[in-house]
Structure 1
């Protein structure tokens, strides 16, 4: 059994390693003008088509003030549209504008291509092992949310 302090060190070491592998230490993600958080907001909106900021906050666990600044920035850049909800007049729905959809599609393709390039360096057996282990890690960590 691994001691708690050793486990903390192992998780932190993995986090540092993985952020380097996928380039998260760069200010912008995927050679774009967007931060990881901005890209994640676009991703969450793309998944559902339109949603409230409250939905994005629940999915990302992002700080409400930080999320608000990101939404405002993306609105000013013309990447998001904001419309009043028909169901709840106090709420606003966020959706990707046509420009936002184009940017999201570009980011999504770049992310896909980066991971494909990463996996290309591995054997089929290593890809299967990695995929299985990542699913296990996600399942274990999901219990903490």
Structure 2
């Protein structure tokens, strides 16, 4: 079974088992918070990246090789709702055929409207993945996909 961990740097990252057999994907300028990773994403504009990621600490060719992730135009993923890098990463993982995807550190745990929209977008992509039969796990301690209880009137 192909297993992937999509990791952010939220509080729940501390619960991730770095010795697990998950392939690890990380993002943005947080390499120092990761014990290991297999693939790194930074989908920000080059001007923003250049001030943070340099040739000395991370080769540009590695950062940019996923700049044009082949998602658009695929029948499997036929819409353009990407409010964050993580939603794009999940869509790419769906295309790559991962059977299990774990989220850790993807907490979006703040009252900021932008982060709320990013979390909602990721949760919709998670539901899409589940609808395709992909096993989704959210690490203990993460508010991702949490609810206050079943709605009953």
TM-score of the two chains, using structure 1 as the length reference: 0.28
Return the structure number with greater strand share.
Answer: 2
Larger RCO, structures 1/2 (Cα 8 Å, 6+ apart): 2
Return the structure number with greater helix share.
Answer: 1
Which is higher, the Rg of structure 1 or of structure 2? 1
